[in-house]
Amino acid sequence: MIELQGVTKRYDRTVAVDGIDYRFQPGKLTGFLGPNGAGKSTTIRMIMNIIAPDSGRITAGGEPLTEDFRNRLGYL
């Protein structure tokens, strides 16, 4: 299970993602919908461990994300 706890990401003074809390349930399909600039791609990049959040934490199975986790996860 992937969990986001208080995840925030800023680019200079622009807040791209502001304190997201979410728990992805195993076996469930989850989609991200929102207007341009809502933080969808930034959130996915943080889950994929491509960029780091400025605050908060993202875990998989209760453990911090690793390079191995990213190699096992796919997204479109």
CATH number at residue 15: 3.40.50.300
pTM (2 decimals)?
Answer: 0.86
Domain count, the chain: 1
Question: In the structure, what pLDDT confidence band is assigned to residue 76 with cuts at 50, 70 and 90?
Answer: low
Residue-wise pLDDT tens digits, 3-42: 999 999 999 999 999 999 999 998 898 888 999 999 999 9
Strand partners, 64: 59
CA distance 67 to 38: 26
The amino acid at residue 17 is V
39 in Cβ contact with 16 (< 8 Å): yes
Does 68 score more than 80 pLDDT? no
